[in-house]
A = this chain, B = another copy of it.
Amino acid sequence: MKVLITGGAGFLGRRLARKLLQRGVLRNSTGEEEAIDRLVLFDVVKADGFTDPRVLAVTGDLADPLAISDLVDTDTASIFHLAAVVSSQAEADFDLGMRVNIEALRLLFERCRQLEHRPKVLFASSVAVYGGELPEIVRDDTALSPKSSYGVQKAIGELLLSDYSRRGFIDGRGVRLPTISVRPGKPNKAASSFASGIIREPLNNEATVCPVTADTRLWLLSPRQAIECLVWAHDLESEAFAQHPVLNLPGVSVTVGEMVDTLGRVAGKPAIDKIRWESDPVVQRIVGGWPGCWDMTRAHALGFTGDQDFEGIVRAYMADDLAPG
């Protein structure tokens, strides 16, 4: 089977690719495990470093209709749609966010509709679709009220996914990802970038800035578990998403203060001293409006697991990503 990852050179895209290559199989539309013989990694930047012959790294702009027709054909059984302009960037560049987060998604779905082969389409939505005054525990029937352009664009993506699915144009599955922490590598343009930085930089003996207050509550998922969840959501039967095409993934609820305490427990006081607290009102407003906890009943009923606690998340980062010192 041919599998496409959009945003395949991105952080989650590359990890997912590695996971799929290692696994070798996915469940197809009839629920049977099938070998992945082609894995297309599409991105504006080249997904390099893959030597596996099953991988085809293609560069292009997903908002370009011609690029999409070349990319998706009736052999494309499954699409992981991860390409996106992330939160702070979508806030800074409205047009770019609209173009990639809405127009490109729409073109992708339209291409599937035109081909009439109803591929599985997994869409990575975000905690950012929530905002404003929220109940302490967000539930599946809590209204979306995004307060950032990124959140609005993700919410629109969810709605399009649901209608294209309901009409039988695609076999859509949306998952709302918690904030991913700890991301390895460099800070990025997500408003939540610090949620990795305040752990990653100290563990790498580098200085970092925390732009939000210690009582800011976050809903987190490790990269490792995020990838497990994407694959799990893909492999579920489509009935699991028939009534509710979008699912809140499991997460761990912690305050930024608790995160720093955990860092101290794992790596000692010198690590904590690497963090400078310097508030950024824009980041505080965006991230502070996201839910710090949501109900996991449905996710658990569908068999999704998540992280045990934040210490587990930190240790997973140290095991998976921290260069041996």
Contacts and interface: CB of A to CB of B under 8 A. Distances in A.
A235 interface: no
A102 B282 CA distance: 29
Nearest to A132: B243
Interface residues of A, number: 24
Nearest to A103: B106
Given A141-B142, A143-B143, A163 B152 contact: yes
**How many copies are assembled?**
2
Interface string A300-317: 000000000000000000
B160 A156 contact: yes
Interface in A118-150: 132-133, 135, 140-147, 149
A117 interface: no
A259 B176 CA distance: 42
Given A152-B159, A152-B160, A159-B152, A143 B142 contact: yes
Chain B CB within 10 A, most for which of A155, A160, A163, A167: A163
Nearest to A152: B163
A162 B131 CA distance: 12
Nearest to A245: B145
A149 B109 CA distance: 15
A45 to B, nearest CB: 27
A21 B167 CA distance: 43
A141 B205 CA distance: 45
Contacts of A160: 152, 156
B145 A94 contact: no
Interface of A: 94, 132-133, 135, 140-147, 149, 152, 155-156, 159-160, 162-163, 166-167, 243-244
6 contacts: A142-B143, A145-B162, A149-B167, A152-B160, A152-B162, A156-B156
